[in-house]
């Protein structure tokens, strides 16, 4: 499975990606996680199984949903989980969405 996180410039999600990767390793799961800035993400949507948007770009969810045309889920990470870098909860949410 491949998760793409997207934010304004790709920087604010880097800490979250690190925490998520640590959680994936702890769980022994085969999940690839990458962060991309919004201006690059559109060109790489075909590489992801799910797209997670940082809360600061939640306004762009509709544009991304149009771009993926239902092929993959697009969701906004809840502000509290994002702010706390709550990797276990975010990964659980991803699994629920893909189940």
CATH numbers and ranges of domains, the chain? 2-98 (3.40.50.2300)
Beta strands in 1-99 (DSSP E): 2-7, 32-37, 50-53, 74-76
For residue range 25-46, list pLDDT tens digits in order.
Answer: 999 999 999 999 998 999 999 9
pLDDT of residue 64: 97
Active site residue 6: no
pLDDT of residue 8: 86
CA distance 99 to 63: 24
Rg (CA), the chain: 12
Which is the catalytic residue, given 4, 6, 7, 77? 7
pLDDT for 10 beyond 70: no
CA distance 14 to 33: 10
pLDDT for 12 beyond 90: no
CA distance 92 to 63: 25
- With residue 95 as reference, give the H or E element that holds it: helix 87-98
For residue range 51-90, list pLDDT tens digits in order.
Answer: 999 999 999 999 999 999 999 999 999 999 999 999 999 9
- Kindly state the greatest CA–CA separation across the chain: 35
């Amino acid at each position: 499975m491949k998760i793409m996180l997207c934010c304004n410039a790709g920087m604010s999600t880097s800490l979250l990606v690190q925490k998520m990767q640590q959680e994936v390793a702890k769980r022994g799961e085969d999940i690839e996680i990458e962060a991309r800035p919004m201006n690059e993400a559109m060109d790489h949507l075909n590489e992801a199984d799910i797209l997670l948007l940082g809360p600061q770009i939640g306004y762009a969810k509709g544009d991304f949903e149009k771009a993926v045309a239902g092929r993959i889920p697009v969701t906004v990470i809840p502000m509290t989980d994002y702010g706390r870098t709550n990797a276990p909860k975010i990964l659980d949410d991803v699994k629920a969405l893909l189940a």
